[in-house]
Amino acid sequence: MFRTVLRTCAAVAAAGALACAAPAATAAPRAGQGSPQYTAAEVHRFLTGFYGQHGPSAYRRIHQVTPELRRRAAGTTGYDLLLCAQNTPRGIGVGEVTTAASAGQGWATVTTRWSGGARRSFTAYVGLDRRQPLRLSGIDCRP
């Protein structure tokens, strides 16, 4: 899963798109290392709190995002990488969380609602290692 995400994001980055920020390959523990992991329910609760109804607060953007993703988001101009959008949505919903213990990652589809009834979706990734606090570790803006 990681290799596929990283290859896809590398291809997107090579094409000049700013919409992809893959989780760091070294950030996730591997299966068999014996580290306890967060559950899907905990990841869902984290993402719901992180995004709220209109996007993450300044505090959450600083303290609940991995340093690598924070750097990528800061380098994205004219576009909010954490929301995959240019504006503030009217509402946000978090879908079902999938966890991959072997990859040490959990992810969910996040759906933003806009005026006029439009909806957009993106995927948010979170590391599962309980030795670390829950943090947003990657975004895939492709639907």
CB 82 within 8 Å of CB 136: yes
In angstroms, the Cα distances linking 40 to 85, 98, 125 are 26, 6, 12
Helix residue spans in the chain (DSSP H): 2-14, 40-51, 58-63, 67-74
> What pLDDT is attached to residue 16?
43
User: Could you tell me how far CA 86 lies from the centroid of its own chain?
Assistant: 17
In angstroms, the Cα distances linking 29 to 45, 60, 76, 102 are 21, 23, 28, 8
Closest CA relative to residue 64, chosen from 142, 131, 141, 127: 127
What pLDDT digit, counting tens, does each position of 102-116 carry? 999 999 999 999 998
Average pLDDT over the chain, rounded to an integer: 83
> What pLDDT is attached to residue 62?
95
CA distance 105 to 38: 9
> What pLDDT is attached to residue 21?
46
Q: How confident is the model at residue 34 (pLDDT cuts 50, 70, 90)?
A: low
What pLDDT digit, counting tens, does each position of 55-80 carry? 999 999 999 999 999 999 999 988 89
